Structure formats: C-alpha cells, structure tokens
Structure 1
Amino acid sequence: MKTMIAALFLSLVATAGAQEQKTVSNAALAARIADQGHDFDVVVKKLEDVLWYERVGDVAYVDKVRLTGPPRFRQTPTGNAFHDALLDNDLVFHAYVFIPRKAKQHRKYPLVVFSHGGIHGTFTTVYAHVIRELVAQGYVVVAPDYRGSTGYGKGFYQSIDYGGLETEDVLAAARYMVENYRIVDPKRVGLLGWSHGGMLTLMNACKYPDVYACGYAGVPVSDVAYRLSYQKPGYTDNFTAPYHIAKTPQEAPEEYARRSPVNYARNLRIPLMITTAENDDDVSVGEVRRMIDSLKSYGKEFEYEVYPPMPGAHLFERIDTREATDIRFKAYRFLARYLLPPRPFRSPDELRKAGYRFN
C-alpha cells in the first residue's frame, strides 16, 4: 500500500511539474509572439518608407533623418554596468523631411511641423494627400516619429511618454529644421496635427510659443484623465503599463494633469485654431470643449469650430471626400495667414488638384 501511495504521489508531483513547465512555456511563447509583432511592424515600416517615394516623390524631395530628444522618462536598469551608466543618454528617434521640388536654395520657405496621431501610431502614407497639399503650397514639412511610435522595435515602443517628453521630440524636430536647412524661415514655423497629433500641437503651442508662429489642432486630445474616464477599460492599460506611467489617474492625478494641454492654456501666445465634430467617436467633443473653455477662461484669442455630426466622425477632416477637403482648405487658409507660403491655395479646387492630381 505504501508503495502504491508513494508512486501516486510521485505521479502527481510529475504532473504538476509538467503543468507548471507548460504554463511557463505558454507564457514564454506569448512573449515571443508579442516581440515578433514588433519585428513585423519594423518590416511594415520599411515598406511604408518606400511607398513615400512612390506617393509624393514627384512633388517633393523625401528624406528620413535621425535626431535626438531628451533621455527616456522611465529608465530601467539592465544589470549591465556599462549600459546602466549611460541610461541618461538622449533618445534617438526618426523624422521625415519633405521639401518641395520647386524650392530654390537661395529662398526662405515656411515650415510645417506635422505630428501624427495614435497612442502608438506612426507616420504613414495615409497622410500622403496632406503632404502633397502642403508641398504644393510651398511648405517644407517635418514629421517626427516621436518616442513610442510603432515601427522601430519593442524598446522604442516602450519609450512612450504620452503628453510628456514626446512634446520635446516634436520641438527637437522643429529646431533641427531651422538649424540645418537654410531654406527654412525660423519666423514662419507652424504646427499641424489631428487627434494625438492635435494634442502635440497644443502642447508645443502652449509650452514653446517663441518657437512657432501658429498652430492648427484638429480633434485634439486635451485632458488625459478625462479621456480615460470615457474610453474602453483596456485603453487605460496603455498608461498603466510598467514601462509607461504605471499608475491610474486616481493614483497619480498630478502626473496625468501635467500631460494634459488643458492645463497649459494660460500660456498660449500664438494664433491657434481648433476643430472638432459632435459625433467624434474617439476624442469626444466634450473633451475638446474642455480645452476651448479653458482658453476662454484665460481670455485667450483663438479660433475654433465645432462641426455637426460629420461623415468619418473622428476622421472627418482627413477622409478624401470633397466635403473633407473643403474643411482642410479652411485649415490651410488659417496657416497661410501666418506662415505666408509662396503658393497658397486660392480655392478648394486647387487643393484637390494638388492632392489628387485631378479635381
């Protein structure tokens, strides 16, 4: 009997061990699959880079440069003394540069700093029509893939600092263009972005008004804590991840407040335009109104427009219909007022011909 009990006990131990090993293996497999997702994104990004030449190469010189922003917000020791001693090194990131093919070396041109959207977004050819429209007017464009952008591997993805040092990455891209391209007029630097890119427009406009002449913020994220209160539960995981903020808004209200444009409204000193739509299904009109109300409370002069429910909802200004391009025409008219491009659009038809080749 004792022999049978011992054998049964050993069998149970072996089964438990095998089960534990299986669980560990499954966890390791899931981690490998997740890492391979980042590798796949790198491949997709390289394909996108090639597509830029195809989509806009006939009207713009296309380049991609490496720049540096501040050290990572969250520095995780590796256990390697050499690397850990250098954790405060600047972070390297990439930015796209588009220069109109009609540009002349001896002339000065306005610069548009175009920030992409998405919490882990990236600058892709979905913006090709907008780039064509900008360079047709004579703008030089820089589009930074700030920290946390997808397409540069797991480490860069986990360097995300939403509403934090990504703002300084955008600033670094603007300063790089002014300091390295003699054709860029430092007094005619404007900001453009939608959604998260709109948020970066607001943050740069309010924190660094001496660098920019104006800013256009479409459907901008404006109050991060408020945003998380109405988004789906899983959305908060992007912020509570151990490599990011690692706390909820309830646990770290001041941390979320410093990442929200609504709390910098008092510093605005440059012309600004904000747009939103009542049926936005990503950045609620209520959130954008918080920014509008904050600016008003400080007596700031700015322009804004709240559109009724629109086709495309959150994307209403960025889809390819005539209705959407007519709205973009208004955005370009605003920018042109302060940036003085050499060939501003005179009509929405000119915009469509520039962006789509035919109107």
Structure 2
Amino acid sequence: MRAPILQAAALLVLALPVTSSLSAQAPAGEDRLKRMEAQVSGLQWELDTLRKAADDQLWFQRLADVAVVDKVTYTGPPNPKGEETYGIRNERHPLKIQQYVFMPRNAPKDRKLPLIVLPHGGVHGDFGTYHVHIVREMLDRGYIVIAPDYRGSTGYGRSFYEAIDYGGLEIDDVVAGRDWAVEHLPVDPKRCAIVGWSHGGLIALMAVFDHPEKFAAAYAGVPVSDLILRLGYLGQDYVAEFSAKYHIGKEPKDAVDEYRRRSPVWNVQKLHTPLLVHSTTNDRDVNVVEVESLIRALQAAGKTFEYRIYPDAPGGHSFNRIDTTLARESRKDIYAFLERHLK
C-alpha cells in the first residue's frame, strides 16, 4: 500500500505553488506526505472495523432461524508488548477478547450440551460468515458453538492486530473462551471439543497438547504444523509477518527454538486427546508435506490418532469447507468422529 500512497503524495507536492525558497518547500512536502500516510493508515483500520461490524450483522440474519446468536467479551492473558499506562503494568491488565456464541434454538432446557470451540484461520484473520454453513451443521447436531477472535484478529483496530502471538498466547485466548463457556453456558465440561482448519488447526492441536484435561476430542483440518518448514517454502513476505517487531521479531534462522515451541510437530509427545487430522495432496497453502511430517512425528511418538490424506481433493486448501459432495461427506466423517468421543 505504501507505493500508491507515495505516488499520490508526490503528485500533490508537485501541485504546490512554487516559491522562491526551494529549501522551504522540501520540509513542507515531507510534512504533508507524513500527514497523508497517517490519515490513510487510520482510514485502513476504520474500514476494517466497519467491514467487521457489517459481517457481524450477517451472523444474526443468516442463523436466526436455528440459533440464538450473541457476541461476548472476556479476558485472556495480558499483552506483554503493551505499554504501561497510568502506572498500571501489563500483568495487571488482561487483554479483552471477543467471542461469538451460537446456541441451538431447539436445545433441551433440562440438560447440559456438548461444546465445539471453533477458532478461525489466517495469520491475521477473523471469524467471518464464511463459516455459516459449518456452524449451522454443528447446531443441527445439538452442539453449542463458540468462536473466539483471539489476539491478532482483524476488525478490532491496530493495537489488537499487533498483539498477535501466533502459536503462543493466542492458544490461551482460545482456551479461556472455552472456560468462559463452561462457566456461563449450559455446557457439559466433559464434552468439549475443538475444531479448526489451517491456522485454526494449529490452534486446535496446541490447545489439546497443552490442556488435554479440557477437551474430549480435537479435529485439525489442513493444519499448519511446522513453522520452520512453512516459512522456508512460502518466502520472505510470509516470513516478514512473523519477524515483525510487534510479533516474534526474529526470523526462524535466528530463533529456531522459538519457532519450534510454536509448532505442533515439535510438541506431539504431549498428545493425550482423541485426534482426527485431514489434508489433501493439492493444498497450495499448507503444503501436504507439513501434515505428513506431523503424522510421522505422531506415529514415532507412539500416539493413537486418526487421519486421512485425500488425493487432489477439489477445492485444495478449502476442500472440506466448501459445498461439494466430497466436502459434505468429509464433514460427516468429522461429526461422526466427534459424536463417538462426545457421546
């Protein structure tokens, strides 16, 4: 975005009246450029917030017939990169997280229900109405569904965006969302599952690795599995997302242990939860080599789990989140797996 901004600003500077002092013009042009960049940057965050608010309204419209839809705010761990304000240190100021809540309208009133935690994907993504059909299927099967927009999600302004902690504190945000649901909703704490695709698949894996007592089952679809391998094949632009000053701050070659800590493939020894993994050989986002590496690591650690790698499934990275016959059949396998373990 910076190049178009600079071009527009340069045209404005050229249009300024010519004065007798060239030295006076340069600072004025630079100041105007800086102001324009600041204004455009601020507009970017405002438009992102507006987009999010508009999409939120679609949730209520598209699921009103089958669900009581709500959006709540709870707290996750403090942001260690936040600035101390009024003498209040970061550890005294937990980060606010927003979470979607979907309750089946036809749910029985006299018993607790199973829960699905559904973290979204994307390095800087959010839980959008792309997921409507999947949430509807889960509601039809009697699940309460929650979807946290953990730190780093889009639609909540710059400071929340830059609080990103991929494979780190975002996991705690999601688990805190599960704990909130157990405390405030008619949820059976022994029948909680976590389901995620892509980056959400990484979160699902890391959540059950670190908190096996809180989840009865986990599904990881096309999961990001090895950040060191992933950043190696995706190139420098992707590396920049992680090595940004407000994020990890270093590239994998300079922080191998830190990237390992955030990667499921290096944490498989902690699996104690029933797990199902899906991938496809034509995934152009999370290359199947990542998932194959995860599967081999789980097998080497002697873990019991289920998996399936589809051969060139139509849709690639989104193959079982779309509306094809194969996608629906694949999701039926997911629901059957969950039902076995959530009873």
| 1:147 paired to 2:131 | no
Distance apart, 1:20 and its partner CA = 4.5
What does residue range 40-189 of structure 1 map to in structure 2 within 5 Å?
A: 40-77=47-84, 82=86, 84-88=87-91, 89-181=93-185, 183-189=186-192
Maintained 8 Å contact 2:80/2:90:
no
TM-score of the pair, normalised by structure 2: 0.91
SS at match of 2:165: coil
What does residue range 1-359 of structure 1 map to in structure 2 within 5 Å?
A: 14-77=21-84, 82=86, 84-88=87-91, 89-181=93-185, 183-340=186-343
Distance apart, 1:91 and its partner CA = 0.3
SS at match of 1:97: strand
User: Which one scores higher on RCO, CA 8 angstroms, separation ≥ 6?
Assistant: 1
Deviates more, 1:215-224 or 1:27-36: 27-36
Counterpart code for 2:269: R
SS at match of 1:189: strand
Counterpart code for 1:44: R
> Cα–Cα, structure 1 residues 230 and 17, in superposed 2: closer, same or farther, change >3 Å?
farther
Q: Structure 2: where are the runs of 5+ without partners?
A: 1-17
Question: What's 1:355 paired with?
Answer: none
Give distance in 2, aligned partners of 1:24 and 1:317: 51
CA RMSD of aligned residues (A): 1.7
Question: What's 2:3 paired with?
Answer: none
Q: Structure 1: where are the runs of 5+ without partners?
A: 1-10, 341-359
Deviates more, 1:285-294 or 1:159-168: 285-294
Maintained 8 Å contact 1:207/1:264:
no
> Cα–Cα, structure 1 residues 31 and 229, in superposed 2: closer, same or farther, change >3 Å?
farther
Please list the CA deviations of residues 15-63 of structure 1 after superposition, one character each: whole Å capped at 9, or x if unmatched.
3553344244324422331231111111111111111011111001101
> Cα–Cα, structure 1 residues 186 and 242, in superposed 2: closer, same or farther, change >3 Å?
same
> Cα–Cα, structure 1 residues 24 and 291, in superposed 2: closer, same or farther, change >3 Å?
farther
SS at match of 1:41: helix
Maintained 8 Å contact 2:117/2:195:
yes
Distance apart, 1:85 and its partner CA = 2.5
Maintained 8 Å contact 1:59/1:135:
yes
Maintained 8 Å contact 1:73/1:161:
no
Maintained 8 Å contact 2:202/2:223:
yes
Distance apart, 1:195 and its partner CA = 0.3
> Cα–Cα, structure 1 residues 292 and 25, in superposed 2: closer, same or farther, change >3 Å?
farther
Please list the CA deviations of residues 317-346 of structure 1 after superposition, one character each: whole Å capped at 9, or x if unmatched.
111112211111111111111112xxxxxx
Deviates more, 1:36-45 or 1:18-27: 18-27
Counterpart code for 2:163: S
TM-score of the pair, normalised by structure 1: 0.87
Deviates more, 1:28-37 or 1:249-258: 28-37
Give distance in 2, aligned partners of 1:260 and 1:31: 36
SS at match of 1:250: helix
Q: When the two structures are aligned, how many residues end up with a matched partner?
A: 325
Counterpart code for 2:169: L
Deviates more, 1:255-264 or 1:84-93: 84-93
Percentage of matched positions with identical amino acids: 44
